[in-house]
């Protein structure tokens, strides 16, 4: 029982990170139909900028805020310099652009930072908390709280604010949104900034647990995409549930089979979803966007 509980706690922790990445995918997909494979690089930037800002002498909270703001600015630049000029291009072309952007960001990070693994101190120390014979780090609770807070914040943003409803209107029908006076280019910019900030937050929260380096972004992108697919691309609740489920699948696979197969779990999930339920757990039943 203790062993199973340990696997579940580990799976929920890493799954919460995947859920944050999946939420970033969802925001941009809803606004533009684009699957942004540079999302994982936002996680990397959040962690790396925090590490080096903290090493430069800044307090950790301030370093984290600078990392989130800087990464949000990078998301805006990605939209303005790469996505917006290609508006009207086939969706596949836009996806390829995001893959190229991911490679570019990774290369720049390698030059600006370094190739080493880094971490910074956990927010609440490293003394494990015992739960039913298993242990969980206090930082893991920060990760879980961050994922829940982001989900609740997005729900309130999309349902309670005019700006959030403008994003939803743009996702439903871009032309109709323009006709009623919504600045869809601004909505796209906001979506990329928000998505990048959420990715950076994930990087800040997980770095004390898993460490960070310039090359981790692609793995987070693939896992976040798998979580978004499992939950239903375009569904915020699906992103949250799908990410956590993927983390649990990985942890149980590593625990009861072998850690060798852990990373393959994401690809198996993608294949199963595509063949069995392309709309995911909470996605739309039709692929037509109206």
Calculate mean pLDDT across residues 192-203: 94
User: Would you call 258 helix, strand, or coil by DSSP?
Assistant: coil
Q: Read off the pLDDT of residues 140-188 as tens digits, 9 standing for 90 and up.
A: 999 999 999 999 998 888 888 888 888 878 877 777 888 888 888 888 8
pLDDT band at 284 (very low <50, low <70, confident <90, very high): low
pLDDT band at 38 (very low <50, low <70, confident <90, very high): very high
Indicate the pairing of strand 129-131 with strand 134-136: antiparallel
For the chain, state the CA radius of gyration.
19
What pLDDT is attached to residue 210?
86
Calculate mean pLDDT across residues 24-39: 87
Phi-psi region of 120 (alpha: psi -120 to 50; beta: other; left: phi over 0): beta
Mean pLDDT of the chain: 87
Is the predicted pLDDT of residue 17 greater than 70, yes or no?
Answer: yes
With a CB cutoff of 8 Å and minimum separation 6, the contacts of 155 are 236
Is the predicted pLDDT of residue 274 greater than 90, yes or no?
Answer: no
Among the ranges given (124-128, 147-151, 274-278), the one the predictor scored with the smallest mean pLDDT: 274-278
Among the ranges given (87-91, 110-114, 120-124, 154-158), the one the predictor scored with the smallest mean pLDDT: 87-91
What pLDDT is attached to residue 16?
93
Q: Read off the pLDDT of residues 54-93 as tens digits, 9 standing for 90 and up.
A: 999 999 999 999 999 999 999 999 999 988 888 778 888 8
Could you count the other beta carbons within 10 Å of the beta carbon of residue 108? Answer: 14
Is the predicted pLDDT of residue 214 greater than 80, yes or no?
Answer: yes
Q: Determine the Cα–Cα distance for residues 165 and 163; give it in Å rounded to an integer.
A: 5
Domains, the chain: 2-276 (1.10.3470)
User: Would you call 132 helix, strand, or coil by DSSP?
Assistant: coil
């Amino acid at each position: 029982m203790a062993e199973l509980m340990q696997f579940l706690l580990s799976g929920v922790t890493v799954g919460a990170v995947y859920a944050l990445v999946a939420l970033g995918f969802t925001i941009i997909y809803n606004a533009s139909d684009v699957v942004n494979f540079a999302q994982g690089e936002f996680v990397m930037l959040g962690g790396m900028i925090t590490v080096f800002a903290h090493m430069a002498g800044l307090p950790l909270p301030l370093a984290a805020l600078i990392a989130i703001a800087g990464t949000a600015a990078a998301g805006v630049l990605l939209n303005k310099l790469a996505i917006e000029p290609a508006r009207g291009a086939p969706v596949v072309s836009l996806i390829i652009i995001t893959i190229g952007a991911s490679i570019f960001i990774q290369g720049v990070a390698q030059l600006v930072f370094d190739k080493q693994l880094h971490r910074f101190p956990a927010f609440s120390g490293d003394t494990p908390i015992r739960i039913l014979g298993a242990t969980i780090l206090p930082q893991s609770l920060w990760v879980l709280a961050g994922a829940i807070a982001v989900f609740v914040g997005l729900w309130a943003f999309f349902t309670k604010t005019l700006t959030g409803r403008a994003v939803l209107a743009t996702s439903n029908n871009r032309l109709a949104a323009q006709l009623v006076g919504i600045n869809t280019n601004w909505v796209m910019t906001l979506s990329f900034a928000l998505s990048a900030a959420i990715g950076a937050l994930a990087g800040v929260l997980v770095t004390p647990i898993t460490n960070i380096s310039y090359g981790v972004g692609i793995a987070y992108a693939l896992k976040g995409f798998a979580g978004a697919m499992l939950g239903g691309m375009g569904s915020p609740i699906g992103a949250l549930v799908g990410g956590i489920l993927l983390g649990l699948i990985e942890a149980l696979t590593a625990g009861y089979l072998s850690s060798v197969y852990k990373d393959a779990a994401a690809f198996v999930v993608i294949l199963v979803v595509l063949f069995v339920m392309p709309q995911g757990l909470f996605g739309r039943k039709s692929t037509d966007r109206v």
